[in-house]
């Protein structure tokens, strides 16, 4: 069952083309990984899927759960079950973690979320992630360490239960223990009813997940695809080896 289907995506920012004809299909229940060197367009892809207004999309066919996404704003995409965890989570002074997540849930479900049951659920989920309960009343990411911010991203993921989780280097800059928690959190989130699209340079986050498909993004195009074995191959031989192999075959 198709969940996200992208065909011939061209997109850029400030007059510069970054994505140069990209195709991607993620089915329900699958875990996909995107690998690629810095600057290849990975974060751009995630932002474009979310409908970030900063990016100019010049050609796009994007279907999500059978619906054309082209005209939809970011919050409308969130409502339909898309969630993006940013590479660098934002600090939002004045809004507590609890209020932020509760408001997001209200926006997504279109229904009022009662405070007491929500608070109880939040507390239990924070406990699973080994977050101190008092963080619920702190301002979003303000004064959080790198690891705490990333844990906070996983907390949102578990509380909002999207259909497709887009994780942009959620594990970068974390120590071993924090990577373990993020990895367990993603594994706890994932089931056959939802899908994950993960950008990572750190294969440890994938240890608890069964990866269905790996895509290698270079210079705005997917240059190679395969199964989980591609991750080890790239870790051993690097990205340029893929291009060398393709050039040799030409």
Binding residues (CB under 6 A) for ligand ADP: these are 13-14, 16, 18, 36, 38-44
* Structure token digits, residue 55: 């990016």
Cβ closest to ligand ADP, residue 155 vs residue 167: 167
Q: Is 170 in the site for Mg ion (CB under 5 A)?
A: no
Euclidean distance between CA atoms 10 and 56, whole angstroms: 9
Rounded-to-integer distance, Cα 34 and Cα 225, Å:
9
Cβ(198)–Cβ(154) below 8 Å: no
Minimum distance from residue 141 beta carbon to Mg ion (Å): 18
User: Which of ligand ADP, Mg ion, none does 162 bind, CB closer than 5 to 8 A by kind?
Assistant: none
Q: Which is nearer to ligand ADP, 40 or 141 (CB)?
A: 40
Query: 31-58 as b/e, with b when 16 or more CB fall inside 10 Å?
Result: bbbbbbeeebbbbbbbbbbbbbeebeee
The CB-of-132 to ligand ADP minimum distance in angstroms stands at 31
What are the structure tokens assigned to 145, written together? 């360490």
Residue 111 within binding range of Mg ion, rule CB under 5 A: no
Which residues share a beta bridge with 27?
2
The site string for Mg ion over 34-53 (x = CB under 5 A, - otherwise) reads ----x---xx----------
In this complex, which beta carbon is closest to ligand ADP, that of residue 43 or of residue 194?
Answer: 43
Pick between residue 43 and residue 85 the one whose CB is nearest to Mg ion: 43
């Amino acid at each position: 069952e198709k969940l996200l289907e992208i065909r011939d995506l061209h997109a850029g920012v400030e007059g510069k083309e970054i994505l140069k004809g990209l195709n991607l299909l993620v089915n329900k229940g699958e875990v996909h990984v995107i690998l690629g060197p810095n600057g290849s367009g990975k974060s751009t892809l995630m932002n474009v899927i979310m409908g970030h207004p900063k990016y100019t999309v010049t050609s796009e066919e994007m279907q999500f759960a059978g619906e054309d996404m082209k005209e939809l704003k970011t919050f409308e995409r969130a409502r339909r079950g898309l969630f993006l965890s940013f590479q660098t989570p934002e600090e939002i002074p004045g809004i507590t973690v609890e209020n932020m997540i509760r408001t997001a849930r209200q926006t997504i479900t279109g229904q009022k979320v009662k405070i007491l049951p929500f608070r109880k659920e939040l507390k239990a989920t924070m406990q699973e992630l080994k977050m101190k309960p008092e963080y619920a009343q702190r301002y979003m990411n303000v004064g959080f360490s790198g690891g705490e911010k990333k844990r906070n991203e996983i907390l949102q993921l578990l509380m909002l239960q999207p259909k497709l989780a887009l994780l942009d280097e959620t594990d970068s800059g974390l120590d071993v223990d924090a990577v373990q928690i993020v990895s367990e959190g993603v594994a706890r989130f994932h089931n056959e009813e939802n899908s994950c699209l993960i950008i990572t340079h750190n294969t440890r986050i994938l240890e608890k997940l069964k990866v269905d498909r790996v895509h290698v993004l270079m210079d705005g195009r997917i240059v190679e695809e395969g199964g989980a074995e591609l991750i080890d191959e790239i870790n051993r031989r690097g990205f340029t080896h893929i291009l060398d192999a393709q050039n040799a075959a030409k």
